[in-house]
Protein backbone atom coordinates (compact mmCIF):
# COMPACT_ATOMS: atom_id res chain seq x y z
CA UNK A 1 0.00 0.00 0.00
CA UNK A 2 2.84 2.35 0.95
CA UNK A 3 4.78 1.56 -2.24
CA UNK A 4 1.67 2.12 -4.35
CA UNK A 5 1.03 5.45 -2.66
CA UNK A 6 4.66 6.51 -3.13
CA UNK A 7 4.51 5.57 -6.80
CA UNK A 8 1.30 7.57 -7.19
CA UNK A 9 2.92 10.60 -5.52
CA UNK A 10 5.94 10.38 -7.83
CA UNK A 11 3.68 10.35 -10.87
CA UNK A 12 1.67 13.29 -9.53
CA UNK A 13 4.81 15.32 -8.85
CA UNK A 14 6.18 14.50 -12.31
CA UNK A 15 2.96 15.60 -14.02
CA UNK A 16 2.80 18.84 -12.02
CA UNK A 17 6.47 19.53 -12.76
CA UNK A 18 5.86 19.12 -16.50
CA UNK A 19 2.79 21.34 -16.31
CA UNK A 20 4.67 24.11 -14.48
CA UNK A 21 7.62 23.85 -16.86
CA UNK A 22 5.36 24.15 -19.91
CA UNK A 23 3.52 27.04 -18.26
CA UNK A 24 6.74 28.95 -17.61
CA UNK A 25 7.86 28.43 -21.19
CA UNK A 26 4.55 29.81 -22.46
CA UNK A 27 4.81 32.81 -20.14
CA UNK A 28 8.37 33.54 -21.28
CA UNK A 29 7.37 33.19 -24.92
CA UNK A 30 4.42 35.53 -24.41
CA UNK A 31 6.58 38.10 -22.59
CA UNK A 32 9.24 37.87 -25.29
CA UNK A 33 6.72 38.25 -28.11
CA UNK A 34 5.11 41.24 -26.38
CA UNK A 35 8.51 42.87 -25.85
CA UNK A 36 9.50 42.43 -29.51
CA UNK A 37 6.18 43.81 -30.74
CA UNK A 38 6.36 46.75 -28.32
CA UNK A 39 9.92 47.66 -29.30
CA UNK A 40 8.93 47.49 -32.98
CA UNK A 41 6.09 49.93 -32.29
CA UNK A 42 8.43 52.27 -30.40
CA UNK A 43 10.85 52.16 -33.32
CA UNK A 44 8.03 52.98 -35.72
CA UNK A 45 6.93 55.99 -33.65
CA UNK A 46 10.50 57.32 -33.47
CA UNK A 47 11.03 56.97 -37.23
CA UNK A 48 7.69 58.57 -38.07
CA UNK A 49 8.40 61.46 -35.70
CA UNK A 50 11.88 62.01 -37.18
CA UNK A 51 10.44 62.13 -40.68
CA UNK A 52 8.53 65.30 -39.86
CA UNK A 53 10.01 68.78 -40.34
CA UNK A 54 13.59 69.75 -41.18
CA UNK A 55 17.08 69.18 -39.79
CA UNK A 56 16.00 65.79 -38.49
CA UNK A 57 19.51 64.35 -38.10
CA UNK A 58 20.48 66.71 -35.29
CA UNK A 59 16.97 66.58 -33.90
CA UNK A 60 17.13 62.80 -33.84
CA UNK A 61 20.17 62.81 -31.54
CA UNK A 62 18.47 65.15 -29.09
CA UNK A 63 15.20 63.24 -29.33
CA UNK A 64 16.77 59.93 -28.30
CA UNK A 65 18.54 61.53 -25.34
CA UNK A 66 15.34 63.18 -24.18
CA UNK A 67 13.30 60.00 -24.68
CA UNK A 68 15.89 57.92 -22.84
CA UNK A 69 15.85 60.20 -19.80
CA UNK A 70 12.06 60.34 -19.62
CA UNK A 71 11.40 56.64 -20.20
CA UNK A 72 14.17 55.51 -17.85
CA UNK A 73 12.81 57.73 -15.08
CA UNK A 74 9.34 56.28 -15.50
CA UNK A 75 9.92 52.67 -16.59
CA UNK A 76 13.45 51.87 -15.42
CA UNK A 77 16.20 50.10 -17.38
CA UNK A 78 15.96 49.12 -21.03
CA UNK A 79 15.59 52.55 -22.59
CA UNK A 80 19.16 53.74 -23.04
CA UNK A 81 19.99 55.82 -26.11
CA UNK A 82 21.64 52.73 -27.60
CA UNK A 83 18.57 50.57 -27.07
CA UNK A 84 16.28 53.25 -28.50
CA UNK A 85 18.59 53.45 -31.49
CA UNK A 86 18.26 49.68 -31.86
CA UNK A 87 14.46 49.98 -31.78
CA UNK A 88 14.59 52.56 -34.55
CA UNK A 89 16.92 50.38 -36.58
CA UNK A 90 14.67 47.38 -35.83
CA UNK A 91 11.70 49.05 -37.49
CA UNK A 92 13.83 50.22 -40.42
CA UNK A 93 15.17 46.70 -41.05
CA UNK A 94 11.80 44.99 -40.59
CA UNK A 95 9.13 47.52 -41.68
CA UNK A 96 6.68 44.68 -42.32
CA UNK A 97 5.41 43.64 -38.91
CA UNK A 98 4.20 40.30 -40.28
CA UNK A 99 7.81 39.14 -40.77
CA UNK A 100 8.49 39.18 -37.03
CA UNK A 101 8.67 35.83 -35.28
CA UNK A 102 7.67 34.94 -31.74
CA UNK A 103 10.48 32.36 -31.75
CA UNK A 104 13.18 35.05 -31.73
CA UNK A 105 14.08 37.21 -28.75
CA UNK A 106 14.94 40.88 -28.70
CA UNK A 107 18.60 39.84 -28.41
CA UNK A 108 18.23 37.87 -31.66
CA UNK A 109 16.89 40.94 -33.42
CA UNK A 110 19.61 43.20 -31.98
CA UNK A 111 22.13 40.80 -33.52
CA UNK A 112 20.31 40.68 -36.86
CA UNK A 113 19.93 44.45 -37.29
CA UNK A 114 23.73 44.84 -37.07
CA UNK A 115 23.98 43.05 -40.47
CA UNK A 116 24.18 45.59 -43.29
CA UNK A 117 23.42 43.22 -46.17
CA UNK A 118 19.62 42.93 -46.46
CA UNK A 119 19.70 39.52 -48.15
CA UNK A 120 22.13 38.13 -45.58
CA UNK A 121 20.04 39.53 -42.72
CA UNK A 122 16.85 37.90 -43.96
CA UNK A 123 18.68 34.63 -44.61
CA UNK A 124 20.00 34.58 -41.02
CA UNK A 125 16.52 35.48 -39.79
CA UNK A 126 14.95 32.52 -41.55
CA UNK A 127 17.69 30.10 -40.50
CA UNK A 128 17.45 31.25 -36.87
CA UNK A 129 13.75 30.47 -36.88
CA UNK A 130 13.96 27.14 -38.72
CA UNK A 131 17.06 25.85 -36.92
CA UNK A 132 16.08 27.23 -33.50
CA UNK A 133 19.45 28.96 -33.12
CA UNK A 134 20.30 30.51 -29.77
CA UNK A 135 21.64 34.07 -29.76
CA UNK A 136 25.13 32.71 -29.23
CA UNK A 137 24.77 30.30 -32.16
CA UNK A 138 23.49 33.10 -34.38
CA UNK A 139 26.41 35.33 -33.43
CA UNK A 140 28.89 32.58 -34.25
CA UNK A 141 27.32 31.84 -37.60
CA UNK A 142 27.46 35.51 -38.55
CA UNK A 143 31.03 35.81 -37.28
CA UNK A 144 32.15 32.79 -39.32
CA UNK A 145 30.51 34.22 -42.46
CA UNK A 146 28.12 31.28 -42.78
CA UNK A 147 26.04 33.05 -45.43
CA UNK A 148 29.07 34.08 -47.46
CA UNK A 149 30.46 30.55 -47.36
CA UNK A 150 27.13 29.25 -48.57
CA UNK A 151 27.21 31.64 -51.51
CA UNK A 152 30.80 30.67 -52.24
CA UNK A 153 29.68 27.07 -52.82
CA UNK A 154 27.29 28.38 -55.45
CA UNK A 155 29.97 30.17 -57.47
CA UNK A 156 30.26 27.31 -59.98
CA UNK A 157 26.61 27.66 -60.95
CA UNK A 158 25.35 29.87 -63.75
CA UNK A 159 22.58 31.18 -61.55
CA UNK A 160 22.87 31.61 -57.77
CA UNK A 161 19.52 33.35 -57.55
CA UNK A 162 17.73 30.31 -56.02
CA UNK A 163 19.94 30.70 -52.94
CA UNK A 164 19.20 34.41 -52.71
CA UNK A 165 15.50 33.84 -53.22
CA UNK A 166 15.54 31.38 -50.34
CA UNK A 167 16.00 34.29 -47.95
CA UNK A 168 12.69 35.72 -49.13
CA UNK A 169 10.54 32.69 -49.89
CA UNK A 170 9.80 30.46 -46.93
CA UNK A 171 8.30 27.75 -49.09
CA UNK A 172 11.36 27.47 -51.32
CA UNK A 173 13.91 24.82 -50.27
CA UNK A 174 17.40 26.03 -49.46
CA UNK A 175 19.07 23.95 -52.10
CA UNK A 176 18.47 21.69 -55.05
CA UNK A 177 21.62 19.59 -54.91
CA UNK A 178 24.00 18.11 -52.36
CA UNK A 179 26.59 20.80 -53.16
CA UNK A 180 24.24 23.45 -51.77
CA UNK A 181 24.29 21.76 -48.37
CA UNK A 182 28.09 21.60 -48.18
CA UNK A 183 30.50 24.49 -47.87
CA UNK A 184 34.15 25.34 -48.09
CA UNK A 185 35.82 26.02 -45.72
CA UNK A 186 34.48 24.52 -42.51
CA UNK A 187 35.47 26.34 -39.32
CA UNK A 188 36.36 24.19 -36.29
CA UNK A 189 37.35 27.02 -33.94
CA UNK A 190 34.96 25.65 -31.31
CA UNK A 191 37.33 22.71 -30.71
CA UNK A 192 40.09 24.89 -29.26
CA UNK A 193 42.77 22.65 -30.78
CA UNK A 194 46.08 23.64 -32.42
CA UNK A 195 46.49 23.32 -36.17
CA UNK A 196 49.91 21.67 -35.97
CA UNK A 197 50.77 18.26 -34.53
CA UNK A 198 47.18 17.02 -34.49
CA UNK A 199 46.34 13.39 -35.23
CA UNK A 200 43.27 12.31 -37.20
CA UNK A 201 41.99 10.30 -34.25
CA UNK A 202 42.31 13.35 -31.99
CA UNK A 203 40.37 15.54 -34.42
CA UNK A 204 37.72 12.86 -34.82
CA UNK A 205 37.32 12.49 -31.06
CA UNK A 206 37.12 16.26 -30.57
CA UNK A 207 34.36 16.53 -33.18
CA UNK A 208 32.39 13.79 -31.45
CA UNK A 209 32.92 15.47 -28.06
CA UNK A 210 31.55 18.69 -29.56
CA UNK A 211 28.90 17.02 -31.70
CA UNK A 212 26.21 19.67 -31.19
CA UNK A 213 28.53 22.44 -32.36
CA UNK A 214 29.78 20.28 -35.22
CA UNK A 215 26.20 19.70 -36.40
CA UNK A 216 25.63 23.44 -36.30
CA UNK A 217 28.68 23.97 -38.49
CA UNK A 218 27.61 21.22 -40.92
CA UNK A 219 24.31 22.97 -41.56
CA UNK A 220 20.63 22.17 -41.65
CA UNK A 221 19.11 18.72 -41.59
CA UNK A 222 22.13 16.67 -40.47
CA UNK A 223 21.90 13.94 -37.84
CA UNK A 224 24.79 11.85 -36.49
CA UNK A 225 24.70 8.14 -37.39
CA UNK A 226 27.98 6.51 -36.36
CA UNK A 227 31.72 6.92 -35.85
CA UNK A 228 34.13 4.48 -37.52
CA UNK A 229 31.27 2.64 -39.17
CA UNK A 230 32.39 -0.75 -40.44
CA UNK A 231 31.69 -2.06 -43.92
CA UNK A 232 32.53 -5.74 -44.34
CA UNK A 233 33.59 -7.17 -47.69
CA UNK A 234 35.03 -10.47 -48.86
CA UNK A 235 38.53 -8.97 -48.68
CA UNK A 236 38.23 -7.43 -45.21
CA UNK A 237 36.65 -4.66 -43.19
CA UNK A 238 36.70 -0.94 -43.96
CA UNK A 239 35.95 1.87 -41.52
CA UNK A 240 34.40 5.25 -42.36
CA UNK A 241 35.44 8.08 -40.03
CA UNK A 242 32.04 9.74 -39.58
CA UNK A 243 28.59 9.01 -40.99
CA UNK A 244 25.66 11.43 -40.94
CA UNK A 245 22.20 11.49 -42.46
CA UNK A 246 20.53 14.55 -43.98
CA UNK A 247 16.75 14.60 -43.67
CA UNK A 248 16.29 17.26 -46.35
CA UNK A 249 18.38 15.49 -48.97
CA UNK A 250 17.25 12.09 -47.64
CA UNK A 251 20.69 10.57 -47.96
CA UNK A 252 23.77 9.52 -45.99
CA UNK A 253 26.88 11.73 -45.76
CA UNK A 254 30.23 9.97 -45.35
CA UNK A 255 33.07 12.11 -43.97
CA UNK A 256 36.74 11.20 -44.20
CA UNK A 257 39.15 13.34 -42.13
CA UNK A 258 42.61 14.08 -43.54
CA UNK A 259 45.47 15.91 -41.87
CA UNK A 260 47.10 16.90 -45.15
CA UNK A 261 46.48 18.51 -48.51
CA UNK A 262 44.00 16.65 -50.71
CA UNK A 263 45.51 13.82 -52.76
CA UNK A 264 44.18 11.61 -55.54
CA UNK A 265 44.49 8.65 -53.14
CA UNK A 266 42.02 10.41 -50.79
CA UNK A 267 39.58 10.82 -53.65
CA UNK A 268 39.94 7.20 -54.73
CA UNK A 269 39.38 6.00 -51.17
CA UNK A 270 36.22 8.06 -50.73
CA UNK A 271 34.93 6.99 -54.13
CA UNK A 272 35.33 3.38 -53.01
CA UNK A 273 33.59 4.09 -49.67
CA UNK A 274 30.61 5.65 -51.43
CA UNK A 275 30.32 2.76 -53.87
CA UNK A 276 30.46 0.21 -51.05
CA UNK A 277 27.94 2.16 -49.02
CA UNK A 278 25.58 2.28 -51.97
CA UNK A 279 25.69 -1.49 -52.29
CA UNK A 280 25.76 -2.55 -48.65
CA UNK A 281 24.15 0.18 -46.54
CA UNK A 282 21.85 2.45 -48.51
CA UNK A 283 18.15 1.67 -48.27
CA UNK A 284 15.87 1.65 -51.28
CA UNK A 285 14.07 4.82 -50.15
CA UNK A 286 17.34 6.79 -49.65
CA UNK A 287 18.85 9.10 -52.24
CA UNK A 288 22.42 8.43 -53.44
CA UNK A 289 25.13 8.63 -50.79
CA UNK A 290 27.40 11.71 -50.53
CA UNK A 291 31.10 11.53 -49.77
CA UNK A 292 32.93 14.51 -48.24
CA UNK A 293 36.71 14.65 -47.74
CA UNK A 294 37.76 17.18 -45.10
CA UNK A 295 41.40 18.17 -45.55
CA UNK A 296 43.76 20.89 -44.36
CA UNK A 297 44.10 22.27 -47.90
CA UNK A 298 42.28 21.70 -51.14
CA UNK A 299 44.09 20.71 -54.32
CA UNK A 300 42.74 22.29 -57.49
CA UNK A 301 44.73 19.94 -59.74
CA UNK A 302 43.30 16.85 -58.06
CA UNK A 303 39.84 18.41 -58.12
CA UNK A 304 40.16 19.09 -61.84
CA UNK A 305 41.63 15.79 -63.00
CA UNK A 306 39.87 13.32 -60.71
CA UNK A 307 36.34 12.02 -60.30
CA UNK A 308 35.67 15.08 -58.10
CA UNK A 309 35.33 17.12 -61.27
CA UNK A 310 31.63 17.41 -62.01
CA UNK A 311 30.66 14.75 -59.48
CA UNK A 312 27.29 15.12 -57.79
CA UNK A 313 28.23 12.78 -54.95
CA UNK A 314 31.94 13.32 -54.16
CA UNK A 315 33.26 16.55 -52.62
CA UNK A 316 36.32 17.92 -50.86
CA UNK A 317 36.43 20.89 -48.50
CA UNK A 318 39.09 22.59 -46.43
CA UNK A 319 38.72 22.84 -42.67
CA UNK A 320 40.28 25.50 -40.44
CA UNK A 321 41.04 25.07 -36.74
CA UNK A 322 40.97 28.80 -36.00
CA UNK A 323 38.54 31.46 -37.08
CA UNK A 324 40.44 33.89 -39.32
CA UNK A 325 39.67 37.57 -39.42
CA UNK A 326 36.63 38.55 -41.44
CA UNK A 327 38.83 40.15 -44.08
CA UNK A 328 41.06 37.06 -44.38
CA UNK A 329 38.04 34.81 -44.74
CA UNK A 330 36.46 37.09 -47.33
CA UNK A 331 39.69 37.08 -49.36
CA UNK A 332 39.85 33.29 -49.24
CA UNK A 333 36.22 32.92 -50.28
CA UNK A 334 36.72 35.38 -53.12
CA UNK A 335 39.79 33.46 -54.27
CA UNK A 336 37.81 30.20 -54.32
CA UNK A 337 34.92 31.91 -56.09
CA UNK A 338 37.19 33.28 -58.82
CA UNK A 339 38.79 29.89 -59.31
CA UNK A 340 35.39 28.21 -59.71
CA UNK A 341 34.21 30.90 -62.11
CA UNK A 342 37.35 30.45 -64.21
CA UNK A 343 36.72 26.72 -64.31
CA UNK A 344 33.16 27.32 -65.39
CA UNK A 345 34.32 29.76 -68.08
CA UNK A 346 36.74 27.23 -69.52
CA UNK A 347 34.08 24.52 -69.56
CA UNK A 348 31.72 26.82 -71.48
CA UNK A 349 34.32 27.65 -74.18
pLDDT of amino acid 67: 85
55 is a domain residue: yes
From the list 253, 269, 173, the residue with the least C-alpha distance to 214 is: 253
Same domain, 296 and 206: yes
For the chain, the C-alpha Rg in angstroms (whole number) is: 25
From the list 145, 146, 175, the residue with the least C-alpha distance to 160 is: 175
Q: What is the DSSP letter of 195?
A: S
Task: Assign residue 272 the CATH number of its domain.
Answer: 3.40.1350.10
Same domain, 321 and 193: yes
- Expressed as residue numbers, the domain containing 242 is 177-335
Report the C-alpha gap between 75 and 269 in whole angstroms. 65
Same domain, 98 and 190: no
From the list 198, 185, 166, the residue with the least C-alpha distance to 329 is: 185
pLDDT of amino acid 75: 81
Same domain, 189 and 80: no
Q: What is the DSSP letter of 288?
A: P
Q: pTM for this one?
A: 0.62
Report the C-alpha gap between 278 and 54 in whole angstroms. 69
pLDDT of amino acid 164: 44
DSSP reduced 3-state for 293: strand
Same domain, 191 and 325: yes
From the list 19, 26, 24, 25, the residue with the least C-alpha distance to 11 is: 19
Q: What is the DSSP letter of 289?
A: P
Same domain, 96 and 214: no
Distances in whole angstroms, Cα of residue 262 to Cα of each of 156, 230, 240, 302, 342: 20, 23, 17, 7, 20
Distances in whole angstroms, Cα of residue 254 to Cα of each of 34, 162, 272, 328: 44, 26, 11, 29
Number of domains making up the chain: 2
136 is a domain residue: no
Q: What is the DSSP letter of 133?
A: -
Same domain, 303 and 196: yes
Per-block average pLDDT, block size 10, for the chain (349 residues)? 58 68 63 83 85 57 81 83 89 88 89 90 90 85 82 52 44 52 83 81 91 87 91 88 91 92 91 92 90 88 80 86 71 67 56
Backbone φ and ψ for 319, nearest 5 degrees, come out as -120, 150
pLDDT of amino acid 187: 86
* Beta pairing partners, 261: 297
Amino acid sequence: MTKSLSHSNDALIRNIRELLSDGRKQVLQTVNSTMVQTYWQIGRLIVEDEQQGEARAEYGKQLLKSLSASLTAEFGKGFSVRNLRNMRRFFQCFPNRQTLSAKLSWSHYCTLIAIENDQARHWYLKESIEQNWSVRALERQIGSLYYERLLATQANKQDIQPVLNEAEQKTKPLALTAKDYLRDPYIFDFLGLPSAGLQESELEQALIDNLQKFLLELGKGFAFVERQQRISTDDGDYYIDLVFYNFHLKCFLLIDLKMHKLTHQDVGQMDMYVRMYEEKKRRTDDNPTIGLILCTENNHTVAKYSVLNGSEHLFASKYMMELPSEEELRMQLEKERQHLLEQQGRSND
